[in-house]
A and B are shown apart, each in its own frame.
Chain A
Amino acid sequence: MVSNRLQAIWVIARRDFVAVVFSRAFIFFLLGPLFPIIIGFFAGAVGASVQHDLDRAVIGVAMSAHDGERLVAARAAMIDHMTGGVPDMQVIADVAPGATFDSRAVLKKRQMSAVVTGTLDRPVLTGTQGKIEDWRGMVSMFAGHARSDHPDFYPDIRDDVVATSAAHEHTGQVVTAQAGQLLLFLLTMLLAGMVLSNLVEEKANKIIEVLAASIPLDALFMGKLFAMLAVSMVGVMVWGCGYGVMVLFGARHLPMLATPAVGWPLFLVLGFTYFSMAYLLLGSMFLTIGGMANTVREVQTLSMPATMMQLIVFFLASFALARPGTWIEKLAEIFPISSPYAMLAHAAEHPSLMPHVLALGWQACCVAVMVRGGAALFRRNVMKSGSGKVSKRKGKLTEAAA
């Protein structure tokens, strides 16, 4: 029976997937989100360029006067031959050989992204880990050319890593959490409308009767949900590729998010899983609500409260993000519909994995309950079924037959 049910889910999912993906309307569905992204990309690129000009990254140079001037001159001579963002260089102090200089104090007080100290043979780069990694090679090259027009070697750079403060790092992770939540919300909102109208086709074409007689209604529900999930995966892949292309052409201008607490690979896996759960939870609810509608007009009327409900859930998760450790955060993590959003934010801020295992198990149970409940409601209200209190006692049959 389980294999029959799975097969039924597969048959429905396959039909719906093919019907949606191989329709002309799907191209517009795919292109839809690309328009604001493209516009956003160009607007962002222009904005980033303006910002870049206004807030140019600067490396302070605190060496002996001779070394400092030669280093700045080497940069000026080479900048025309370089592409991408080359930071500015400013001499900020004349430091006698052997004297010490407090680069960290400069980084705290002045608008400097990094500071080069030491000598041209042994430069020291002070800055955050990210900046040092970005600029180590570049500074080495400038130092090499500062030593000689035809450098025979490029000096090794000594790192002096400035750790960002814990508060600063947490702020970055909160931004990552917010970005994850927003992306999750946008994706589920985009697809929920499609799910809402999903059963109208069957009802309008009167095929629902045949489906109900052939397969269990919860298999029909599951099939439809998974079909739309697969459709959404196609969409996510296309949009992801689009984003990838943009990254290739304009990575430097795209905003960089702080590394989530669980790390990027796991965060992406969790993001994908929570998206699936959020979609299945909302989808099963919307499928049930949409199943009550007989016409597209009724679906349109229902879509407004459905969208509002999604917004409330999103706001709850966002609100909880700003109140870590409170009952609101716990509520958002436990309440099935907001749980995927809240838990994705949790992944951005906390490295532990066990809460995610528990949350995913809980969400999967809720999906199963909602699908079964939705199918029962559909059966009762739309197919006009009864209480199902059927006598199953064989004795009754025996008496009746006799």
Chain B
Amino acid sequence: MGKEADLTPEMRSQDLAIEARGLVKRFDGTVAVDGVDISVPRGAIYGVLGPNGAGKTTTLRMLLGIIDPDAGYRRVLGSERPTEVARRIGYLPEERGLYPSMKSFEAIAFLAALRGVPLAEGRTRAREMLEDAGLGHAADRQIRHLSKGMAQQVQLIGTLIHKPDLVVLDEPFSGLDAINQGRLEQMIRGLAARGATVLFSTHVIAHAERMCDQVAIIAGGKVPFAGPVDVARDRLRPQVRLETRVQDGLWRAALPADARCDVKATGSAFWYFTLPETGVEPLLRALIEGNAGILSLSIERAGLHDAFVAIAGEAAARALEETREEIVVKKGRR
């Protein structure tokens, strides 16, 4: 930490793929994004976590230069004008779209050409990547004749074909089945392994928790937390689950006053409480010396979901759940 503190802001900026300060965006008088600060380190997998309408897509669009912020500052891959470094960026929007009359490999080559890859090279690479993805048979098929999932994969290949330094994926997992979600997770890890920075938005905490080095929790257009996932989780004290042979004794003084107790028919008791600030050792000592009769003891670190609730509030967490349910219902209807 001390080493990092010695760095000047400029030096720290060089280590960041994306840096945004105080981004504000209003639509027709409504504030969609309200002073967002984000710092995405180079080579990181970074998640923007929040429910629908939280401002995730608007933030990403501002970072990509699709729209300009009303206020604030952004620097992407060292440039204050994101469109100037567009060739080093791959972008998969939430609303996927390709020209329906184009053949798969042509559509990918077109997306590559937009990012500066010569057409012939793009076509060759497109065929290779389609083969690698198990879609070689679909290379000469028009997009309109592909299934939704296949079209989505074609677009994803088109997003990555020019080997971007920064990959921005807006809700990349939505619309994918479990198998393809797994493949996508692997692909994202592969990108990070080769040094690319991956920024993706999601409303699914599990994805962010499983994959991200850092997250920005966004709710109501604000970012109450941005940083490493571990730091978010460490905002909550670990939860203790204690099983004792007896229900009472001097050792009870070591437990917090709000510890919840669940007595079993056998006479043993389960205790649930937040680990006291003093730590594990004093607690264990008090339990042993007070003859609590420990049958089992587990200390669980807070999950990202709990951290999200603690950071963004119950309302945001509920909205996040509702977003998920909404999408599941929509998928079911389809």
> Residues on A close to B: CB < 8 A?
1, 4, 7-8, 11, 14-15, 19, 23, 201, 205-216, 379, 383-392, 396-398, 400-402
Query: Which residues of B have CB within 8 Å of A11?
Result: 110, 113-114
Determine whether the beta carbon of B91 is less than 8 Å from that of A213.
yes
Question: Taking each of B26, B67, B80, which has the highest tally of chain A beta carbons within 10 Å of its own beta carbon?
Answer: B67
Query: In the complex, A209→B171 CA distance in Å?
Result: 14
Query: Which residues of A have CB within 8 Å of B96?
Result: 206
- Pick the residue among B66, B98, B113 that contacts A207 (CB under 8 A): B98
Known: A388-B68, A401-B9. A214 touches B115 (CB 8 A): yes
Determine whether the beta carbon of A386 is less than 8 Å from that of B9.
no
Query: In the complex, A8→B116 CA distance in Å?
Result: 8
Known: A216-B83, A391-B72, A397-B73. A209 touches B93 (CB 8 A): yes
Is B184 engaged at the interface, CB distance under 8 Å to the other chain?
A: no
Determine whether the beta carbon of A385 is less than 8 Å from that of B68.
yes
Interface of chain B: mostly helix, strand, loop or mixed? mixed
Determine whether the beta carbon of A383 is less than 8 Å from that of B66.
yes
What is the minimal beta-carbon distance from B85 to any residue of chain A, in angstroms? 11
Known: A19-B99, A397-B9. A391 touches B114 (CB 8 A): no
What is the minimal beta-carbon distance from A12 to any residue of chain B, in angstroms? 8
Query: Which residues of B have CB within 8 Å of A201?
Result: 99
- Pick the residue among B25, B86, B101 that contacts A215 (CB under 8 A): B86
Determine whether the beta carbon of B93 is less than 8 Å from that of A390.
no
A402 — nearest CB in chain B belongs to which residue?
B9
Determine whether the beta carbon of B10 is less than 8 Å from that of A398.
yes
Query: In the complex, A23→B100 CA distance in Å?
Result: 13
Query: Which residues of B have CB within 8 Å of A7?
Result: 116
30 intermolecular pairs with C-beta atoms under 8 Å apart: A1-B84, A8-B114, A11-B110, A15-B110, A19-B102, A205-B97, A205-B98, A205-B99, A206-B95, A209-B93, A210-B93, A213-B65, A213-B91, A213-B93, A214-B91, A214-B114, A215-B114, A379-B67, A383-B61, A386-B70, A387-B68, A389-B70, A390-B68, A390-B69, A390-B71, A390-B73, A390-B74, A397-B21, A397-B75, A398-B10
**How many chain B residues touch the partner (CB < 8 A)?**
47
- Pick the residue among A15, A210, A211, A398 that contacts B9 (CB under 8 A): A398
Query: Which residues of B have CB within 8 Å of A1?
Result: 84
Query: Which residues of B have CB within 8 Å of A211?
Result: 114
Query: Which residues of B have CB within 8 Å of A14?
Result: 119
Query: In the complex, A386→B68 CA distance in Å?
Result: 5
A220 — nearest CB in chain B belongs to which residue?
B114
Query: Which residues of B have CB within 8 Å of A4?
Result: 87, 116
What is the minimal beta-carbon distance from A112 to any residue of chain B, in angstroms? 64
Determine whether the beta carbon of B68 is less than 8 Å from that of A400.
no
What is the minimal beta-carbon distance from A402 to any residue of chain B, in angstroms? 5
Query: In the complex, A394→B9 CA distance in Å?
Result: 11
Query: Which residues of B have CB within 8 Å of A207?
Result: 97-99
> Residues on B close to A: CB < 8 A?
9-10, 12-13, 19, 21-22, 25-27, 37, 61, 64-75, 80, 83-84, 86-87, 89, 91, 93, 95-102, 110-111, 113-116, 119
Determine whether the beta carbon of A19 is less than 8 Å from that of B101.
yes
Determine whether the beta carbon of A209 is less than 8 Å from that of B66.
yes
Query: Which residues of A have CB within 8 Å of B99?
Result: 15, 19, 201, 205, 207
Query: Which residues of A have CB within 8 Å of B19?
Result: 397, 401
A209 — nearest CB in chain B belongs to which residue?
B93
Query: Which residues of B have CB within 8 Å of A397?
Result: 9, 13, 19, 21, 73, 75
Query: In the complex, A201→B144 CA distance in Å?
Result: 14
What is the minimal beta-carbon distance from A367 to any residue of chain B, in angstroms? 22
- Pick the residue among B22, B71, B116 that contacts A389 (CB under 8 A): B71
Q: Knowing that A23-B101, A210-B97 are A-B contacts, what are 12 other residue pairs whose CB atoms are under 8 Å apart, sorted by A's residue number?
A: A11-B110, A205-B99, A206-B97, A209-B66, A209-B93, A213-B66, A214-B114, A385-B66, A391-B71, A397-B21, A398-B10, A401-B19
Query: Which residues of A have CB within 8 Å of B64?
Result: 213
Query: Which residues of A have CB within 8 Å of B93?
Result: 206, 209-210, 213
Query: In the complex, A396→B19 CA distance in Å?
Result: 13
Determine whether the beta carbon of A400 is less than 8 Å from that of B73.
yes
What is the minimal beta-carbon distance from A213 to any residue of chain B, in angstroms? 4
What is the minimal beta-carbon distance from B300 to any residue of chain A, in angstroms? 35
Determine whether the beta carbon of B37 is less than 8 Å from that of A400.
yes
Query: Which residues of A have CB within 8 Å of B74?
Result: 390
Query: Which residues of B have CB within 8 Å of A402?
Result: 9
